[in-house]
């Protein structure tokens, strides 16, 4: 089956890798958030390298993205030790 043009463009611009960890909904969601963070940091770094953003602007954008990723980790309760019942 051939994908529509827009879907092909999206998968090229925003590639997603398969998830290979423990399959729990919160892990899959966090993995998607982590991949999005990584892509955006790459774009910001390229804009800074190309002179379109100052180093300070790039740092602030990445800092904001990092805070959003940390917030999603807390919301999803990733990495918290489970109580042994």
Say what the pLDDT of residue 82 is.
60
pLDDT in tens, 19-67: 777 789 999 999 999 999 999 999 999 999 999 999 999 999 999 999 9
User: In this structure, is residue 13 part of a structural domain?
Assistant: no
Q: How many domains does the chain have?
A: 1
pTM: 0.74
User: In this structure, is residue 49 part of a structural domain?
Assistant: yes
Alpha-carbon distances, residue 36 vs 41, 42, 56 (angstroms): 9, 10, 21
User: In this structure, is residue 38 part of a structural domain?
Assistant: yes
User: In this structure, is residue 80 part of a structural domain?
Assistant: no
Residue 67 belongs to domain spanning: 24-75
Which runs of E-coded beta strand occur in 7-53? none
């Amino acid at each position: 089956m051939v994908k529509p043009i827009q879907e092909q463009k999206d998968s090229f611009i925003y590639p997603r890798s398969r998830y290979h960890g423990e399959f729990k909904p919160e892990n899959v969601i966090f993995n998607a958030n982590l991949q999005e963070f990584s892509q955006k940091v790459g774009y910001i770094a390229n804009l800074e390298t190309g002179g379109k953003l100052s180093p300070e602007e790039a740092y602030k954008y990445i800092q904001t993205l990092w805070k959003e990723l940390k917030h999603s980790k807390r919301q999803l309760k990733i990495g918290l030790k489970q109580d042994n019942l």
